[in-house]
Amino acid sequence: MEDNKVGVIFGASSGVGAACIERMKNFKKVYAISRRGKVLNDKQIETDLPENILSIKCDVRDYKSVEYLLLNIEEDIDFIVSCVGVGFYAPIDNDYSSKWKDIFYTNVIGNVNILSNLVRHHNECKTAIVLGSVAAKRPSMTPGNEIYRASKVALETFLNDFRSNIRSKNNFMKVCNLQPGFIEGTDFGRNFFEKNSDENIDLYSSFTNLSPDDIAKTINTILSVDDNIDIGEIVIRPTEQPT
């Protein structure tokens, strides 16, 4: 069954973003946005997309690039999903400052750039779903992950304030902070130890983890609720991950 929605998926090249694209192929139109400018399958091979899915290259860390992108989408946007985010082994007891900056500029500033331009140029948008993390809810349990956790706490704070700000201006866009636990099959797991192979451990060996499609299904559920329902926060984690 076709869905008449127009949406924009940021971070669409792999992981949760790519899973969203797979589940939204019957939507009226979906813009698949990523730094790579392509959508990859679980084997990291570029996939063929139907005509209603448009893959566009954009670095969300650059405000003007996001502005140019949204200004050039002529249709009214029904929803955006932001799956942008990076995480690396970057402990605070050594100089990982370039990684710290990359984490904060992507996870926090990237989402600020998206939502700022969204309300400026597509005020009609009904729903914004942003991928946070359960890392914002508890002390870091992954080695070298303190800065990533700090970025997700900052993102959570920003989203709460963003919602309050737009409500004060009579903008009733739904804002959902979707906070998943461990998800296997994403760039986070593939790239976490890319500069520290000697520190490498299997992050996903302790229990059965979520899949990108689990999160994509949840996102579709959020998009299906009635207009008067604003799901502000969802924490979704594997059954065996208690916190």
d(CA 163, CA 141): 29
Which band of pLDDT confidence, cut at 50, 70 and 90, is reported for residue 1? very low
**Does residue 87 carry a pLDDT above 90?**
no
HEC assignment per residue over 163-221: HHHHHCCCCCCEEEEEEECCECCCHHHHHCCCCCHHHCCCCCCCCCCECHHHHHHHHHH
Name, of 35-39, 45-49, 171-175, 184-188, the range with top average pLDDT.
171-175
CB 69 within 8 A of CB 56: yes
Each residue's pLDDT tens digit, 117-143: 999 999 999 999 999 999 898 777 677
CA 179 to CA 130: how far, in whole Å? Answer: 9
Long-range contacts of 47-50 (CB under 8 A, 24+ apart): 47/18, 49/21, 50/25
What pLDDT digit, counting tens, does each position of 5-22 carry? 999 999 999 999 999 999
- pLDDT > 60? residue 198: no
% of residues, the chain, pLDDT over 70: 90
Q: Which fold has domain 3-236?
A: Rossmann fold (3.40.50)
**Which has the minimum average pLDDT: 31-35, 121-125, 178-182, 184-188?**
184-188
Q: Which two tokens stand for residue 159?
A: 């989203």
pTM for this predicted structure = 0.92
Which tokens hold the place of 232?
Answer: 């502000």
Which position has the higher pLDDT, 192 or 74? 74
Chain mean pLDDT for the chain: 90
| pLDDT tens readout for residues 50-71 | 999 999 999 999 999 999 999 9
Outline where DSSP puts E strands in the chain: 3-10, 27-34, 53-57, 79-82, 127-131, 174-180, 233-236
pLDDT at 68: 98
